[in-house]
Amino acid sequence: MIRVDAENLHYFEKAPVAKAVAHFAVPMMLGTSMSVIYSILNAYFLGTLHNTAMLTALALTLPLFAIIMALGNLIGMGSGTFISRLMGEKKYDDVKRVSSFAFYSSLLLGLLVIAAGLPLMDPIVHALGATPESFGFTKDYVRIMLLGSPVVVLFFTLENIVRSEGAAITSMTGMILSVVVNMILDALAIFVFHWGVNGVASATVISNLVASAYYAFHMGAKSPFLTISLQWFKATRDILGNVFKIGVPVFIMSVFLGAMSLIFNHFLVEYGDQAVAAFGISSRLLQFPEFILMGLCEGVVPLIAFTFTANKLRMKSTIGFTIKSIVSLAVVFGIIVYLISDNLIGLFTNDAQLIEMGSYILHVTFLSLFITGMTTLFTGIFQATAQGTAAFIMSIIQGVTLIPVLFIANHLSGFHGVVWSLVIADAAAFLVGAAMLFILRNKLEPDLESLAQ
């Protein structure tokens, strides 16, 4: 007999929409904001050693970490949205089967990464672009990341799974715990034990391990819905189909984003180091509001998934309130940026030309902040409502659009064309997502006849 958590179900079923959205989204927004800090912690601590080769190694290994993280999201997002839909249908035994499947399949996926990656370690390091000076440091980092991949995959899986049952605060706590542990271990590794790259890489893996243990404890001892018990493990066709239908597009999107970043940097290099540096600074500044909007849109996915099967009228209200929130946040952030963009860029450099170039890039890219938020919401709606084909199209459309737009815009308008190509690609993805949402509206609209009865 499954004990039902009345508080979580209250936010799914009965709480005012604004309060329910806040319950799910605010912890996720805080968690994703912390991940911005997480992304610069390792660079900061390694930077204190004033070793350029170490910092190069850290930068070069980002694509590898992104792929391992994407594998966790493959299982986590696919299983998480399925779990929320099952909860809307009150199929609690199935929820346990899916959560057990997610836990053990994540570990298995991580072990496969080790088996495939360790024998190919040197080719991987070369493929990442390591120079002779940074090769040794890069190899050290890659080795530890490969060995720790089961833990990293598990962390990103469980964060999604815990959030899918409505335990948004628990999900946020695990993310913050990971950041805090990483910060402490980084400081010890650099300043006390002098372990350099090995210490920083190990700190990342151990911090993910601590957070994963926290999530596993919640699933095994606290959650009325989830479990890590092997006796509930099932890999049925239904589970595999529902998980991978949503998980695979999420994985492809992550891979595409990494590839797009590499291609975009290739075009920027043509315009000198200042162009690359200016975009690097502006993209870091843009990352904060982007992650806030991402946290909002990803945070409401479990609520949309639950209400899709339980109450479509409530789902429609949830989506409407989320859109209003995206508009409000985009306007506030946009006003701030347009008023103090020079000052923001000036926090990173005192080079007048670099400030001018970075401010220009910031103004242009901020134009698509609302569009990016809406595109993320479209993707979340398709994931939550099991629209696998639409989710897949959203996962590739921006990359498919950006590559030809980059070539054409670069040829016609040079540096300005390269910068504006991001806005054009975002706009194309927005239009495609809006069109698919319109086409699928009959599946997503509430059943008015049943409401009238």
b/e map 60-81, b = 16+ CB within 10 Å: bbebbbebbbbbbbbbbbbbbb
Report the predicted TM-score, pTM, of the whole model to 2 decimal places.
0.79
What would the DSSP string read from start to end of 91-110? -HHHHHHHHHHHHHHHHHHH
- The tokens for 237 are 């066709």
Let me know how long the chain is. Answer: 453
Q: How far is CA 313 from CA 62, 93, 139, 317, 428, in A?
A: 42, 26, 53, 6, 29
- Which pLDDT score is estimated for 289? 87
Residue 181 pLDDT: 93
Query: For residue 273, what pLDDT is reported?
Result: 64
pLDDT recorded at residue 452:
38
**Tens-binned pLDDT, residue by residue, of the chain (453 aa):** 344 455 667 888 888 999 999 888 888 887 777 766 666 666 677 767 777 777 777 767 877 888 898 899 899 988 998 998 999 888 999 999 999 999 999 999 999 999 999 999 999 988 887 878 888 988 999 999 999 999 999 999 999 899 888 888 898 899 889 989 998 998 899 888 888 889 989 999 999 999 999 999 999 999 989 999 999 998 889 999 989 988 888 788 777 766 776 677 678 777 876 777 777 677 767 878 888 888 898 889 888 988 888 888 899 999 999 999 999 999 998 888 888 888 877 776 677 887 888 888 888 888 888 898 999 899 889 988 888 888 888 878 877 888 888 889 888 888 899 889 988 988 998 999 999 998 887 776 655 444 333
